[in-house]
Amino acid sequence: MSTNKPLPTPTEISAPFWNGLKEGRLTIPQCTSCGHWIFFPRRHCDKCWSQDLTWKTVKGTGTLYTYTLTRIPTLPDFADEMPQKMAVVELDEGVRINTTLVGVDEAEIQVGMRVKPVFDTVKSDGTALLRFTAADKDMAERIDSTPAALAAAAEAAAAAPVADKRQVRFDDEAAMKSLVSETYSAWSNQIVVDQALIDEFAKLSGDDYWIHTDPERARKQSPFGGTIAHGALVQVLQSRLRIPLDYEVVGFNNMVNYGSDRLRFPAPVPAGSRIHARTRVKAVEKLPKGMQLTMEIVTHVVGSERPSVINDLVILYM
């Protein structure tokens, strides 16, 4: 999850609702005069106009009133959530809440199905959003969708044992050329590109342009709605991405990074995004000095179809 994603700003009126979500509780106001439940939060009862309201904790169970699936993100920051299952849930108390569904497949969603709340922590300060899942799903009531937690989960998955790799000798031209493919590898582990990392790179490189280092100005003036990572930073981070390959080049004495035949930055990486990469062998050429392999490495923001970095890395095996 990108830290540039717009999040609700609690007001004096709505603060009890948002504070309750942080604690894993759903609280909504009820009119003391007529008993009517109220949502969205306001100062008065929308039935009898009384201002005598009391905030009360409810179970949060209800039914799915309506829903829609969105497949194109409104901002690059939402790419990791596609497709979003946006919904309106009618609580048993009668109020309706705009939300998103989690933990259910598209084919399982039905208007009228019973649902229950899921409290989703999205920021390190405890800020949480209210999601819902099917009532019969065995899903935790509280989940952690902070970028660090999501990256850690992906890291654990990437650490799973890998099957034995096919060994290819660097001087076997036919075997090396057999690696050339239009098909990409599986995805690597994930890295969170947060503002602290961007600031460190700005200090190291001297590129402290405001679109990278000034979140407040970037929110107001940037076409991306917030700060973005330097393209060079995202490229450098490729060395921290462990791409699972089903082969291993062996038998060489030296391996030299010859540079890049092509380097492009087609899409931004908003601060707080998770990135991952995959690769394919693009070309192999036998040279007097050894065997040259061109590997196309593409780095994406998680969930985005458009790469943020395309790097045709040239490696010489000797």
Same domain for 251 and 159 = yes
Which residue in 27, 1, 3, 10 sits closest to 225, CA to CA? 3
Asked whether residue 2 is assigned to any structural domain, the reply reads no
Q: Which residue has the higher pLDDT, 138 or 80?
A: 138
* Predicted TM-score (pTM) above 0.75: no
Examine residue 10 and state whether it is found in any structural domain, yes or no.
no
Residue 9 covered by a domain: no
> What integer pLDDT is reported at residue 225 of this predicted model?
86
Strand partners, 149: none
Asked, for residue 8, whether it belongs to a domain, the answer is no
Domain of residue 299 covers 155-317
Over residues 49-102, the pLDDT tens digits come to 999 999 999 999 999 999 999 888 777 667 777 788 999 999 999 999 999 999
Q: Using 50, 70 and 90 to split pLDDT, how confident is the model at 162?
A: low
Lowest mean pLDDT among 69-73, 116-120, 233-237, 267-271: 69-73
Examine residue 34 and state whether it is found in any structural domain, yes or no: yes
Q: Which residues have C-beta within 8 Å of that of residue 154, sequence separation ≥ 6?
A: 189, 190, 274, 276, 302
One domain, residues 247 and 200: yes
| pLDDT score of 101 | 96
The answer to whether residue 4 sits within a structural domain is: no
Q: Indicate if 176 and 92 belong to the same structural domain.
A: no
CATH code for position 111: 2.40.50.840
pLDDT band at 146 (very low <50, low <70, confident <90, very high): confident
Check whether residue 76 and residue 212 sit in a common domain: no
**What is the pLDDT averaged over residues 263-274?**
92
- For residue 240, the domain's CATH number is 3.10.129.10
Within this chain, do residues 196 and 287 fall inside the same structural domain, yes or no?
yes
Residue, of 33 and 75, whose pLDDT is higher: 33
Q: How many domains in the chain?
A: 2
- For residue 147, what pLDDT is reported? 76
Mean pLDDT of 193-199: 92
Q: What percent of the chain has pLDDT over 70?
A: 95
> Does 160 share its domain with 306?
yes
State the virtual CA torsion across 211, 212, 217, 222 in degrees, nearest 10: 40
Averaged over 8-14, what is the pLDDT? 93
pLDDT, averaged across the chain: 91
As a whole number, mean pLDDT of residues 231-245 equals: 93
Do 163 and 70 share a structural domain? no
Q: Are residues 141 and 160 in the same domain?
A: no
Same domain, 124 and 170: no
**Does 309 share its domain with 170?**
yes
Summarize the confidence of residues 242-249 as an average pLDDT: 92
pLDDT of residue 94: 96
Q: Is the domain of 139 the same as that of 196? A: no
Which of 90, 85, 38 minimizes the C-alpha distance to 61?
Answer: 90
Domain boundary among 145, 165, 183: 145
Higher pLDDT, 2 or 164: 164
Q: In this structure, are 24 and 85 located in the same domain? A: yes
* CA-based nearest residue to 256, from 284, 291, 281: 291
Q: Please report, rounded to a whole number, the percentage of residues in the chain having pLDDT higher than 90.
A: 78
Confidence check: pLDDT of 235 > 80: yes
